[in-house]
Amino acid sequence: MTQITPPRKPPEHGDRLLECEIALEAPLRLLVDDAVVAGWAPREVFAALRSIVGNQRQAYGADPDPADDPNWITATSQII
């Protein structure tokens, strides 16, 4: 599993978003690089990420903690 640095600043701190971007940058870069090495064009990877992020944003808006949903747990366990 990818290691992501936890936040050090409180939620109301002005630099919190920047801190999150820094924490996600290296793991995301590795993911993009892996996809490109696997044969996907960078434009395809970024378009797919944009779509995935939009879908995840919508899903989290509807259910901020999907792990509380027993249907999510069942669906996830079937994937693994």
Residue 42 and residue 32 in contact, taking contact as beta carbons nearer than 8 Å: yes
Taking every pair of Cα atoms in the chain, the longest distance, rounded to a whole number of angstroms, is: 41
15-60 pLDDT, tens digit per residue, is: 999 999 999 999 999 999 999 999 999 999 999 999 999 999 999 8
Closest listed residue to residue 41, CA positions, set 74, 19, 10, 49: 49
Residue 23 and residue 5 in contact, taking contact as beta carbons nearer than 8 Å: yes
**pTM of full prediction above 0.95:** no
3-state secondary structure string, 40-75? CCHHHHHHHHHHHHHHHHHHHHHCCCHHHCHHHHHH
